[in-house]
Amino acid sequence: MRTQLVHQIIGITALLLIAFWMGPAIGLDNRQSATVAIAFLMVYWWISETFPLPVTALIPAVLLPLMGVFPMGKAIQPYASTIIFLFLGGFMLALAVEKWGLHRRIALLLLKKIGASQRGIIAALMISTGFLSMWISNTATAVIMIPIAISLVEVVHPGQGNEQKRRFGIVAMIAIAYAANVGGTATIIGSPPNAILVGLSEQFYQRNISFLSWIMIGLPQVIVLLAIAYVLLVYWFFPMREKLADDVGEKIDQQLAELGPLSKTEKRVLYIFSIMLFFWLTGGWINSIVGYKLLTDPMVAIFGGILFFAVPISRQDSKPILEWPDTTRLPWGILLLFGGALSLAAALDQTGSVKLIGNAINQYAHWSPVLITLVCIGTMMFITEMMGGTALTAAFVPVLFAISDQMQIDPIHLALPVTIASNCSFMLPIATPPNAIVFSSGYLDIKDMVRVGWAMNFIAIAVIMLFSFTLLKWIGI
């Protein structure tokens, strides 16, 4: 309790110092100083866990209006963002899968196919997650994979209070988050920042980045980053030397036999999931045919969520697949967590705080292309730990174009690696939806994510830099 009080005092003191002294001293206006101060306070309290994370996430709803940054209505608007509804629909899918045991069946079948190796299980989870994330949103991918991973953890290490189980759970959750984040960089449609760069490139320079060209650059980086993450997780930070027990195969077969054949309700959950997956995969194609944005990921997620409450479990039983009391198990705090992060991101963007960073970099445009690329990649990667990469990319890419024009270098050769870096946020739960989703599993502490994440951030910078000055130049977008 005393430690919590110390963190409260430190956070509030820093807030006041930055807002009323340090911010104005370096030329920030009142709104910018207040926004930066609020950002520091929230990140510090999130890292120190001074309050529950969702409670800290409510701070923008109070301090942004109180400090004159936004009126109340604008401050709380991001708490109803479309990403929140994507989360909500995805969580309903996860609830239905878990309620009727479908995730356990999938996990047991997956485990039976993989073999008797914990490392093999982690590799399979990363490959599956990374591949899905190339084609559907990283949020939906994480939502799909988490129930499977949790069930695998329970099968491999049943019971409570097992240190090996805790370590295996940590690795499984981090593996899914990293694969979901990084996998989206392989294709243009895999992540919103990718599409933003393509659109801005065409708007500013009438240059079209083809789907194939992006894959040729993005996919090799995904493979390298996930391979490194796998080695770090299972050999370095959380070594896995234990093999599965000899009788695990028999236990898996026994548990599959106990589940019996696929029930009618499980089939209906699979049908709804298939519908959601189909529209997630084909939504962009359908939109291009009809000529306007008919389908979006959040819309599909909510539609699927509604179906779970509308479709009965069988012809004989009219009770729906999900009932409202089931939602008591929804991680509502995660919705608040991202609402707060989005509110903070909007304040950083609309007060011009993000552009100030870009302008500060622009003052050093006489640096070498290698050095300026390194600074921009590092800046993007670490800022996205506390605000969404989509908003940051939209605000930052035009600044990168301006820097490129001034330095007389290819703008795509600077902006594309920085855009890829916006997807590589590994340290904090609030950095990306997959990070928040795996954190909600209960297997992770923030220190676990930070411990591996700081190393992955620096490794990702090195990998992106390497590919920027080799493969990107060879392919020549």
Residue ranges covered by each domain of the chain: 82-266
- Evaluate whether 184 touches 133 at the Cβ level (below 8 Å): yes
Cite the DSSP H helix spans in 49-117.
Answer: 53-56, 59-66, 72-76, 82-99, 102-114
Least confident stretch, 188-192, 237-241, 305-309, 387-391: 387-391
Least confident of 15-29, 69-83, 154-168: 154-168
Give the separation between CA 255 and CA 441, rounded to whole angstroms.
Answer: 23
What global pTM score does this model have? 0.68
User: Are the CB atoms for 336 and 54 separated by under 8 Å?
Assistant: yes
In this prediction, residues 75-85 reach a mean pLDDT of 85
SS3 (DSSP) at 117:
strand
Dist. CA 158–CA 460, nearest whole Å: 35
Mean pLDDT throughout 35-45? 87
Query: Greater confidence, 441 or 376?
Result: 376
Quickly state the pLDDT bin for 307 (edges 50, 70, 90): very high
Would you place residue 422 in the very low, low, confident or very high pLDDT band (cuts 50, 70, 90)? confident
To the nearest whole number, what is the mean pLDDT of the chain?
83
Q: What is the pLDDT of residue 381?
A: 84
SS3 for 386?
coil
At residue 222, the pLDDT reads 93
How does pLDDT run across 5-30, given as a tens digit for each residue?
888 888 898 899 888 898 888 888 88
Q: Give the pLDDT band of residue 220 (cuts 50, 70, 90).
A: very high
Whole-number Å distance between alpha carbons of 469 and 116: 41
pLDDT in tens, 357-367: 656 656 666 67
pLDDT at 322 (0 to 100): 94
Least confidently predicted of 161-175, 269-283, 294-308, 348-362: 348-362
Report d(CA 191, CA 181) in Å as an integer. Answer: 9
Q: Which residues contact 441 (CB under 8 A, 6 or more apart)?
A: 146, 149, 150, 169, 173
Buried b (16+ CB within 10 A) or exposed e, 127-141: bbbbebbbbbbbbbb
In this prediction, residue 179 carries a pLDDT of 94
User: What does the angle CA 198 – CA 426 – CA 91 come to, to the nearest 5 degrees?
Assistant: 85
Question: Which helix H or strand E contains 212, and what residues bound it?
Answer: helix 211-231
Residue 423: its pLDDT value, please?
85
CA 447/CA 451 separation, integer angstroms: 6
